[in-house]
Structure 1
Amino acid sequence: MYESFYGLSKRPFALTPDSVFLFPSATHRRALSYLIYGLGQREGFIVITGDVGTGKTLTIQTMLDYLANKQIRGVRIAAANVGASEVLPLVASAFGLSPEISSKAALLTELERTLLHAYPKGVLLIVDEAQTFSAEALEELRLLSNMSMEGRALMQISLVGQSDLRETLDSPRMEQLWQRIIAWHHLQPLSLGEVKDYVQHRLTTADWNEMPSLEEGIFPLLHEWSQGVPRKINILMDRLLLFGYLEEREQLGRAELQAVIDELGQEFGRRAPPAGAAEAGKASAEGAEEIGRRFAALERNVAELLGPAQVQELLEQEEESGDAGTLLTRIDRMEKLLGQLRQKGRWLRS
């Protein structure tokens, strides 16, 4: 609607993933680098996690486009609540094999033959929404990763999912898969400086000629409202351009952006966080119940390694020292402790 008014070739902030719009932020460059690194190693797993809206799907699409140009087969599978018995048929179907082949052994043999002869330059299997896979399903994927030829895996596997995937993989029952992880990256929100560059990158990709012009003052407010999450930036900027078109504005500033934020607040019952309340907004977004659940899960995992008595002693020492901090701080400490306990010194993590 507003594209012709502003002379844009396409909607720059559409929610549908399009790899031409990928902004090469530091966190997305690292995620892509790890995927490429894993494909070169042809062993183990690459894990990419990120909160909702941080760009996981766009990163996957960009990687698949990159592989197509290199004549390397890239395959993405995604399904909710996958069980162990569904993994092999799901993977086989993604490679064009019939999941109705008589037996699991026959299907596995046919899959191995296909990978060996049809894709000599390699295959990257991206398992999207991996946080919904059961532990048994993830273990089945580990077994599939054992298919190899001359010491190199026939299929490189990457697990991509929301932050919950970390909890599943942290479980002691996932030890064998954990030891196969060679690189792990968690997508981070954009910084204030990156938000400005992100907006200008997407506008320029849509042939923006500085119409509308954007006042510098919009970017701090945009960062505060979106908390640096790309999907939220897209939602707000798309509405801002629509607002500018309807009001026939050639210049958009903080006042116009605030008007759009107020409109969204009236429509969805959500308002921008007050200035200086970014940390409180983060805690509110996660929710007290979710935070408590995360802490309890971490405490259980650490207890399985150290023993309940040792964990309780550590918590009591924190309280006695007056350094217990907030629950979010304690979660961070517990995650660091768990990482130290389970560190194998072989995989990269950031």
Structure 2
Amino acid sequence: MRLPHPFAAACEELGLSALLSAQQLSASSQGLLKMRDSLSPQLGLAVDMLCLGRTVSLDAAQDTFGPNLVDWMGSTGLATVTDSSIQLPNRRLVGHLGRLVFVGPAGSNAHGYYGPDSVGLGKLLLNARGRCLDLFASTGAQSVLMARSGDEVDAVEINRELKGVFELNTAINGCDDRVTALWGDALRVELTGPYDTVSLNAPLFPSFGIEGVDQAADGGATGNSILRQALKRCELTDHGRIFSTMTTVGSPGRPELDWLAQLCRQLNLAFQVIPTGIGRLDGQSRFSAELVDTLAESSSTSADTLTQRLRAHWDTHGIDRLFFCLLVGGRATGSKATVTVLSNFEGGRGWWIG
């Protein structure tokens, strides 16, 4: 039986693993901030350093984790260590449904993004089985989750800057012998299907034709361009399942799903659509304002100019909503290559805004 990684064992002993698992505070830091002052000194220091990105005393960190683990954090590049302090500048520790994983800063849409959609997708993967595929794996949150119940995981990620933290996550979760990283473009890298379980978290941010959006976040004009291409690469076993995040444009109560229905017919798949949120696209809502600000920052275009261009685009194409969803699918039986929406789209906020 494999012994726990020393870092995981230390987090368990401090109570940090239990705290993150019980509260499920991973998608944001707000809950941790609210309870920070009520924590014991050592647990509070661990939260400050590992979860909130705060600089802490090197002596206090060594007292809490021991000199060997502090040296390990520095040698892996996880932490910046000086003669008197230690800080994790670009990483934070989250509890992902019973796994401990390091991800990017809160609010980042790329380079280790982790948000509410990551949690929602992870819940669907809790019973992953057989040979697993994690497309757009990022820091490996879904990979280490699937490795808990699956036999083996192929994880595909294009951003090699995440290699260190990906390997760190598989190591501290004791699954580095069952997870194989494939570094390359998820739309081109050679895959060795068929797979029993597929996790797919393609870039979801809709650019509406605006150029300059970070490629790691850009899901194309409607938010699902990359997803469409990736779904065609998912070779399944007879009883294989695909679990995916999705955004798509539409009008009130009517998400644009014709593209997904057509894909189901082409690939003989059947999907269930689970609504999770709606964002109004009218140039006046808070959601629209935040989306415009993000696009303006990415494209170096003024927000006022973009607002006019986007409102004209939305009016021309009859778009006034962006729908957020989770997908569950597999091979269709008989002639039932269909798309089924499981409930009405009534409310909820966008994953990466707000």
Same fold per superposition (TM over 0.5): no
Q: Which has the higher helix share?
A: 1
Higher relative contact order (CA 8 A, sep 6+): 1
TM class, shorter-chain normalised? 0.3 to 0.5
Q: Which has the larger radius of gyration?
A: 1
TM-score (structure 1 length as normaliser)? 0.34
